[in-house]
Amino acid sequence: MKVLNFGSLNIDYFYKVGHFVQKGETQASDMLNIYGGGKGLNQSVALSRAGAEVYHAGVIGTDGAFLKEILEEAGVNTTFTQELQNVRTGHAIIQNDSAGDNCIILYGGANQEVTKELVDDVIKEFGSGDWLVLQNEINEIPYIVDKAHEKGMKIVLNPSPVNNKIFEINLSYIDYFILNEGEGQALAGVQADGSTLINKLGEKFPDAEIVLTLGERGSVYSGKEGVVWQDAYKADVIDTTAAGDTFTGYFMAGRMEGMSVKDALNMASKASALAVTRKGAAMSIPMKDEVIGFKAK
Ligand code: RIB
């Protein structure tokens, strides 16, 4: 069983600020770090560190070669990571405030240069029993979903960042949704939260398994194993960037290897509690032995 993650690769420009910049304000930042990131790359790293056999498909420019190295160092196969001339690698401008929270401006760049030919070349190497993991930072997602469905792959969608393009996807082909409350509200078309929201999502996508992440309130699953709640573990937050990606990678790797929902949610919550105590995106994602050895505060 192989995992194909068709997803973004970003250069993250990470600025430490006292507070998020307000309208009309100019704020000095005395710290800039440049990290590897992108929801796709982060989730590939998390899946691989959690023990899955991961293939990352996506597009970078020549300025993003180091992103491929990050994936390879994490044990991810980059055969399907394409490098294009004359296009900039995608990037993110991330403000990290004194509470450790972030806000992000995204520039798609090469992430928006996925072609149907690339999709066809990649998907033909996968089949029934393999998994496809997707976020919403690349183009051609509806086509990727259709092709993967034709091949009998199981499909995981983290619809992040959420926008109207999500509704171009045949969402009935999705086996797993992993999403936060804002994304859940957009997909369900309601302003509900927590248990009301997961019920609405369950009604809308009755054949899917759904995990709703609730930040400090934990997470909740609805699907074949009923409704399962998981508390968040307490952590000294430095930077929340990639905490959601860490959760997605660890949860899905657990499920793919046959873990119960309860155990996979628990492992994913521990992994994301560790990730928020560290700076950066991919580099904040813990190794599996750290997650296993995690002690709750
Ligand atoms: O989820 C975190 C990621 O979102 C960052 O690494 C950034 O690149 C954006 O894609």
DSSP codes, 232-276: PPP---S--TTHHHHHHHHHHHHHHTT--HHHHHHHHHHHHHHHT
Atom of ligand 1 nearest to the CA of 8: 10
Rounded mean pLDDT of 238-253? 96
Q: What is the mean pLDDT of residues 95-99?
A: 92
Nearest alpha carbon, ligand 1 atom 10: 38
Instruction: Give the separation between CA 180 and CA 183, rounded to whole angstroms.
Output: 5
C-alpha 258/C-alpha 238 separation (Å) is 32
The pLDDT-based confidence of 297 (bands split at 50, 70, 90) is confident
Kind and range of the H or E run holding 91: strand 90-96
Question: Span 41-66, mean pLDDT?
Answer: 98
Average pLDDT over residues 173-187: 98
Confidence of residue 156 (pLDDT cuts 50, 70, 90): very high
- Per-residue pLDDT for 205 more than 90? yes
Taking each continuous run of H as one helix and of E as one strand, the counts in the chain are 9, 13
- Return d(Cα 294, Cα 15) in angstroms, integer: 29
Nearest atom in ligand 1 to the alpha carbon of residue 94 is 7
Report the chain's mean pLDDT, rounded to a whole number. Answer: 97
Atom of ligand 1 nearest to the CA of 40: 10
11 Cα to the center of ligand 1, angstroms: 9
Q: What is the pLDDT of residue 114?
A: 98
List pocket residues of ligand 1, CB cut-off 6 Å. 8, 10, 12, 37-39, 42, 92, 104, 106, 137, 241-242, 244-245, 281
pLDDT at 30 exceeding the cut of 90: no
Instruction: Report d(CA 153, CA 127) in Å as an integer.
Output: 6
Identified catalytic residue from 97, 130, 245, 289: 245
The pLDDT-based confidence of 13 (bands split at 50, 70, 90) is very high
Predicted pLDDT of residue 67:
98
| Residue-wise pLDDT tens digits, 119-155 | 999 999 999 999 999 999 999 999 999 999 999 999 9
Closest ligand 1 atom number to CA of residue 35: 6
Which residue's CA lies nearest to atom 9 of ligand 1? 38
**Average of per-residue pLDDT across 86-101:** 94
Average pLDDT over residues 47-60: 98
For 143, residues 6+ apart whose C-beta sits below 8 A from its C-beta are 116, 119
Six-digit token pair at 163?
């926008």
Residues 253, 79, 40, 82, Cα dihedral to 10°: -170
Mean pLDDT of 107-116: 98
- Dist CA 234 CA 228 (whole Å): 19
Gap from CA of 224 to ligand 1 centroid (Å): 30
How close is the Cα of 248 to the center of ligand 1, in Å? 13
Q: List, edge to edge, every strand of the sheet that includes 209-213.
A: 81-84, 54-61, 3-6, 131-134, 154-157, 176-180, 209-213, 219-223, 226-230
Q: Calculate the CA 208 to chain-centre distance.
A: 18
Q: Has residue 100 got a pLDDT over 90?
A: no
Length of the chain: 297
Q: Is 245 a catalytic residue?
A: yes
For 254-276, write each residue's pLDDT tens digit.
999 999 999 999 999 999 999 99
* Whole-Å CA distances, 92 to 70, 127, 213: 17, 33, 23
